[in-house]
Amino acid sequence: MSIINLLINIELKLKQYKLQFIFLLLFWFGGFSFFFLTQQGENLYIIFLYSLTIRRPITSDDFINFYTLIWPILLEVIVFGFIMGELLEKYNPVITSRILAKHKRNHTVIIGYQHLSERIVDFCTENKKRFCVIEDNEELVEDLVNSGYPVVIGDPTELFNLKDANIKKAKEVFINVDEARIAIICTEKIRQLNDEIAIYVRAFEDHVQDYLEQTPLNAFSFSTSKWAMEGIYEWTKGKKGNAIVIGRDRLTHRIAHHISLQTDREVFLFDDEHDGIEFVVGSNLHIIQEFACFLSDLRPHVDLESVSQVFICWKKDSEFDEALYLASKFDLRYPNIEVYVRIFDEELKDLVEKYGAQTFSTSENAFKKLQNEVTADSAIAIKK
């Protein structure tokens, strides 16, 4: 165990034993006070020895007998038990990660651990930049915690979690959460703690972005789906025929809405979690609230012979197998259809393209765009 981990472990164990040590101190103080009042002929040094049961008064009563019996037991159980047992025990990695975060200075704070955040963390680790992560889902950051990185597991809107990430001493924060309410609350509380920190917030709605950018918040807001649409515009420009869009998030909805505005094109949006989208739905946009991973799931709703483009926009890593299978079936049965698959792991690119599909990554694209927007002293700034 390294020196820094040993010191952190001592701090951790002292916090865990705080109540026991307070009780021991109060018990000792009660005994010291008793001896001070009853042994008035003795000096403070002798009274102190009495209170530690190193010495014992010549005359004893019931309280003295009780005190001299209990004090050694408490001392052994609390103090020696703490020293011999707890300090040798393996430290709690979750609490240790929180303590590590609390001691960071001039660092980058990442709130929400999703695909874009993973790229920020990877860049920071590769370039030896100081950072910490705040995430309320422990499973998402389990690898970071076990690897000894600074992580605060908890609700990012809670002030004590922001303080444990040492927001006051941080130089920048990236807020990558899905809910606008959480993003706004985090931004407001962070700005109260630190009026100079650079705040970068991922937000979807235009009015939320406008609010975040106004004084006193003065945050830089961005939409990864808007950035991703730059490539989508090129792929759909001047296209004919119907389109299928499969997914659940806002990028999926943007793609479906954009294509539905094109002349003589119908769009079939397969979203099994939502019964509506954030945009005005025209007559050319059809929303099917079903999970589609086979061609047989699509045929009851759309004539595949009339389709020219398919966008598979699932964002869960666990659903990549379904995306790959569907792309392979389109390549086999409908090779004339253009298929676009969103991926988050670049190593999977060759697998998808083997079936003639085009890949795109919103997190990779967003990270590169974000690098061009941050200040020169940012941890992810492009080196010139």
Q: Beta strands of 137-284 (E only): which ranges?
A: 151-153, 172-175, 198-202, 220-222, 242-246, 267-270
Determine the pLDDT at residue 1: 42
Please report, in tens digits, the pLDDT of each residue of the chain (384 residues total).
456 555 666 666 666 667 778 888 899 999 899 888 888 888 888 989 988 888 888 877 888 888 888 888 887 777 776 665 555 555 578 888 888 899 899 999 999 999 999 999 999 999 999 999 999 999 999 999 988 899 999 999 999 999 999 999 999 999 999 899 999 999 999 999 999 999 999 998 889 999 999 999 999 999 998 998 988 999 999 999 999 999 998 899 999 999 999 999 999 999 998 877 888 899 999 999 999 999 999 999 999 999 999 999 988 878 889 999 999 999 999 999 999 999 887 778 888 889 999 998 888 889 999 999 999 999 999 886
Are 161 and 79 in a shared domain?
Answer: no
Say whether both 185 and 299 belong to one domain: no
Q: Is residue 59 part of a domain?
A: yes
- Residue 360 CA to residue 362 CA, distance in Å, equals 7
Q: Are residues 163 and 264 in the same domain?
A: no
In this structure, are strands 198-202 and 172-175 parallel, antiparallel, or unpaired?
parallel
Residues 18 and 110 in one domain: no
Whichever domain contains 212, its CATH number is 3.40.50.720
Number of domains in the chain: 3
Asked, for residue 91, whether it belongs to a domain, the answer is no
Q: Are residues 217 and 248 in the same domain?
A: no
Which tokens belong to 131?
A: 């950072």
Same domain, 122 and 195: yes
Tell me which residue of 325, 352, 322, 329 sits closest to 340, measured CA to CA: 352
The DSSP call for residue 135 is: E
Cβ neighbors of 70 (< 8 A, separation 6 or more) are 27
CA distance 285 to 128: 48
Q: Is 230 domain-assigned?
A: no
d(CA 280, CA 269): 14
Residue 384 lies inside a defined structural domain of this protein: no
Place of tokens 């990549």: 320
Residue 209: per-residue pLDDT? 95
Sign of CA dihedral 314, 315, 317, 318: negative
Domain containing residue 125: 104-222
State whether residue 203 is helix, strand or coil: coil
pLDDT of residue 184: 97
In a domain, residue 131? The reply is yes
Question: 243 and 354: one domain?
Answer: yes
Please report whether residue 378 resides in a domain: no
DSSP 150: -
Instruction: Indicate whether 334 and 307 sit together in one domain.
Output: yes
- How far apart, in whole angstroms, are the C-alpha atoms of residue 165 and residue 97? 10
Q: Does residue 206 sit in the same domain as residue 247?
A: no
- Does residue 370 fall inside a structural domain? no
Confidence (pLDDT) at 7? 62
**Could you write out the DSSP letters of every residue in 245-264?**
EE-SSHHHHHHHHHHHTSTT
Of 222, 254, 274, which residue is a domain's last?
222
- Same domain? For 217 and 252 the reply is no
CA 87-91-127 angle, 5° bins: 130
Q: Do residues 18 and 131 share a domain? A: no
Domain boundary among the residues 187, 222, 257 is at 222
Give CA–CA dist 267/274, Å, rounded: 16
Whether residues 111 and 48 fall in one domain: no
The answer to whether residue 32 sits within a structural domain is yes
Q: Which of 51, 86, 121 is the last residue of a domain?
A: 86
